[in-house]
Amino acid sequence: MREELRRALRRRSPLRRLLRDLARAIDGAGGAAYLVGGYLRDIAERKISGDVDLLVTGLTYRRTGELLRSLGPGTPGIRKVVAAGRHFPVHRIAVDWGKEYIDISNARTGARSPGQRTGTAPGGDDRAAVEDASRRDFTINALLFRLDPVRGVENGRLLDPFGGIEDLRRKRIRCVGEPAERFREDPLRILRAIRRKNERPGTVLHAGTASAIRRLGPRLLPAVSPDRIAVELVRSLSADPVGTVDDLRRLGLLRVLLPEAGPQDAKVAERIARRYRFLRRSIGVRLPISILLANLLADLPPDAALAAARRLRLPDLRRVASTLRGLFHLSHPEALRFPRAETESVLLGTEDPGGWIALYRAVRRIGKCPARDLNRFMRKSRTTPFWINGIWLDINTFPKGPQRREILLRIREESLSGKIRGRVEAERLAESMRYAPGGGKGI
C-alpha cells in the first residue's frame, strides 16, 4: 500500500507539488496534514483515484481558512479557495490542472477510537487524526497517510488504526467500531454499506455490520431524507441491481423502501431480481436509469408505482413515469381503443424502444405470460406508410380538437391491420369521420 501510494503521487507531479506546499504551510502553522478517505481507498484497491481529501489537525477551521487564503492563487496548482459543505464545513481548493478539487477538513474532537486494534495505536502526534477517523463510517474509509513536509509528501506515514487494508483484502464492508453507533450517527450509512458492497464484486457485509442493519434499519431509515436515500439507492442499483435487491430483501429494508409491495415482498424481490438478470442479458451491464427504476416498480399498479416513485424522489421522474405508463400499455393492449396504433405510438415516443421492449419481455416472461413479438411488430410498422398526418388535416380544414387524434389513430390502426392499403382509402375514411361524434368509431 505504501509503495502504491508513493507511485501514485510520483505519477501526478502537479498534485504532489501542491500537497508539498500545503503540508509545509500547515506544518509551519503548527498543524499536520493527512490524506484521507476515498483517495487512499482507491489506491489500495488499485483503482484510478479521484478527488483528494485532506485532514488537518492542530488548527481550527478558521485558522485553516486564513492559511489557505494566504496561499491563494499565487501558489502553483491553486485556482480558487472557497468554503463549502452544508452539514460538515470544509475548505475546497479548485486546482488549475483540471476539474478535480481538494477538500480540506479539520479534525473533529471529542471522539473516541472504538475498535482500534491492539498494537496499531499511533504516536501521540497522530491521536487527533485517529479520533477523527473513528467517526468515519467504514474501516476502508478510515485510512490515513500523514504527509511529510520535509522528506517529501510521498515519504509520509500510513496509518490504518481500524484494519481497513485487511478488510479491503478480505473484501468486506465493516463499520468503524460499534456498528449501531455509526448507524445512529447517520442512518444513511445503512444504505451506503449496501452500496459499497455492490460496487465491489465479491464483497460481503461483515457479520456485525449486517446484523446491526437488520436490527436497526427498519427503525432508523424512515427518518432519512428521501433525496439522500434516492442517491444511494440509484448508485447501488446501477452498480449491481440484483445484488442490491437481494440485500434489501435479506436485511428487511425492501418493505421499508417499498411498502407498496405488501407482505409478499420476498416474492416481489425475487421477480425484480430475475427481471434484472434478463435485462442485463438483453441490454447489457449498464441499464438506462429509466429502465432500472421502472423495473423496480413494475409489480405495482400504475398509480401505486408512480406514487412510490414520487415518494422515493427518484431521479428523472418524468421518464420513469413515461416508462411505467408505456409498460402498462404494452402489457395490456386489450385496454387500448386502438391497440396497434397506440402500441406503435408508445414505442416511437421513446428514445430507447429496445429498452422498453426488453423490459416488456422481462415482465411477461417472469410473470409466465405470453409476449407479443414487438420487434417484429416494429419492423412491420416501419414498412407501413403513414397515409395522412396532422398537416393533411390542416390543409383540408378539419376541426381542431381531440377528434383529430381519433381520426389519425383509427386510420393508423386500420393501416397496420391491412384494412387500408392506400392514400385514397385513408382519405375517404378521414372524410367520413370529419363530423362524427366521438371520432366516428364504427363508421
The domain spans of the chain are: 1-167, 171-257, 258-381, 384-443
**Confidence (pLDDT) at 439:** 47
CATH of domain 171-257: 1.10.110.30
Decide which of 3.30.70.3000, 3.40.50.300, 3.30.460.10, 3.40.50.970 is the CATH code for 1-167: 3.30.460.10
**Confidence (pLDDT) at 218:** 95
Please give the average per-residue pLDDT across 164-183, as a whole number.
96
**Confidence (pLDDT) at 110:** 57
Please give the average per-residue pLDDT across 216-233, as a whole number.
96
Do residues 399 and 405 touch, judged by C-beta distance below 8 A? Answer: no
Q: Where are the beta strands (DSSP E) in 25-143?
A: 32-36, 52-57, 78-84, 90-95, 101-106
Residue of higher predicted confidence among 331 and 116: 331
Alpha-carbon 400 to chain mean position: 44
- Number of Cβ within a 10 Å radius of residue 263: 8
> Which CA distances in Å does 23 have to 126, 159, 183?
15, 17, 33
**Confidence (pLDDT) at 87:** 66
What is the model's pTM? 0.85
Least confident of 39-53, 216-230, 417-431: 39-53
116 has a pLDDT exceeding 80? no
pLDDT in tens, 15-35: 889 999 999 999 999 999 999
pLDDT in tens, 312-322: 999 999 999 99
106 has a pLDDT exceeding 50? yes
> Which pLDDT band, with edges at 50, 70 and 90, does 262 fall under?
confident
**Confidence (pLDDT) at 234:** 96
Least confident of 121-130, 208-217, 278-287: 121-130
Look at residue 186 and give its three-state secondary structure: coil
pLDDT above 70 as % of the chain: 94
Least confident of 21-25, 85-89, 252-256, 283-287: 85-89
Single out the residue of 376, 302, 365 nearest to residue 340, CA to CA.
Answer: 376
Please give the average per-residue pLDDT across 259-272, as a whole number.
88
